[in-house]
């Protein structure tokens, strides 16, 4: 079994898929992921971000018009219901600002925003200009899962994914994120796994980087003998 064929079923693919979002299913699915990416972008656990997204999705709240119609107080209550209490006020304010600007500039349509962008840098800039608080981390979370779906969604390899890729010996640790992505993409092209794509692999590596590679203590590596950490 190849390394990729072992990693993906074990660690999982896109975070969006884990939330029941099919990013290849059309604009509404990508709007759902945009909301989720904003929630994941705060310094809060992935479990809380996922649970909070499901609170919104369970009530059909993910479009700019639906979120703006809730108003600040109701958004705070929804965030609290998902366990997002630490960032509830700040995130409610950010959500309203983002969705209002998205509506004013791009008719509330992320696809229109993407079409207007000249290239990846412009696409990232337009997303970050929607409101304060949409920083590089949130933009990367959103766009890396659209790799291969939006033509201009070509972010550099995320830091956690690069850490895990180096940990597994897939790329040298000292490469730039852009060079590391090129190396990883070439390895993927040589040994793809049916049912997955490069964005799924990056998400799997993010999980490995988050839960194992950046920690000095904790549970054993889920990859067992594949682990790149040398025993001390």
So what's the pLDDT on residue 56? 98
CA 187/CA 88 separation, integer angstroms: 41
pLDDT of residue 221 exceeding 90, the answer is no
> pLDDT tens across 55-99, in order?
999 999 999 999 999 999 999 999 999 999 888 999 999 999 999
Q: In a 3-state reduction of DSSP, which class is residue 117?
A: coil
pLDDT of residue 216 exceeding 70, the answer is no
pLDDT of residue 38 exceeding 70, the answer is yes
136-144 helix and 27-40 helix, angle to the nearest 10 degrees:
140
CA 60/CA 26 separation, integer angstroms: 16
Residue 207's nearest CA partner among 3, 8, 4 is 8
Going along the chain from its start, the domains and CATH numbers come out as 3-11+156-226 (no CATH), 15-144 (1.10.340.30)
Please, which pLDDT band fits residue 232 given cuts at 50, 70 and 90? Answer: very low
Residue 11's nearest CA partner among 221, 225, 231 is 221
> pLDDT tens across 201-212, in order?
999 999 999 888
Q: Which residues of 183-204 are buried (b: 16+ CB within 10 A; e: fewer)?
A: bbeebbeeeebeebbbbbbbbb
How many angstroms from the chain centroid is the CA of residue 73? Answer: 27
φ, ψ of residue 26 in degrees (nearest 5) = 125, 175
Handedness of CA 69, 71, 77, 80 (dihedral sign): positive
């Amino acid at each position: 079994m190849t390394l990729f064929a072992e990693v993906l079923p074990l660690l999982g693919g896109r975070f969006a898929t884990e939330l029941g979002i099919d990013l290849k299913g059309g604009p509404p699915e990508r709007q759902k992921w945009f909301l989720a990416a904003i929630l994941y972008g705060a310094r809060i656990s992935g479990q809380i971000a996922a649970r909070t997204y499901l609170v919104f999705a369970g009530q059909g709240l993910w479009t700019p018009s639906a979120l703006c119609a809730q108003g600040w107080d109701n958004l705070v209550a929804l965030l609290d219901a998902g366990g997002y209490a630490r960032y509830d006020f700040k995130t409610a304010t950010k959500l309203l600002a983002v969705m209002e600007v998205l509506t004013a500039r791009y008719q509330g349509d992320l696809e229109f925003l993407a079409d207007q962008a000249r290239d990846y840098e412009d696409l990232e800039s337009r997303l970050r200009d929607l409101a304060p608080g949409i920083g590089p981390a949130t933009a990367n979370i959103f766009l890396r899962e659209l790799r291969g779906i939006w033509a201009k969604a070509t972010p550099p390899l995320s830091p956690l994914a690069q850490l895990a890729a180096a940990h597994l010996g897939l790329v040298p640790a000292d490469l730039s994120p852009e060079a590391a992505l090129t190396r990883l993409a070439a390895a993927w092209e040589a040994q793809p796994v049916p049912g997955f794509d490069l964005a799924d692999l990056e998400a799997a590596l993010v999980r490995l980087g988050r839960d194992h590679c950046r920690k000095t203590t904790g549970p054993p590596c889920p990859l067992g003998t594949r682990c790149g950490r040398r025993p001390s």
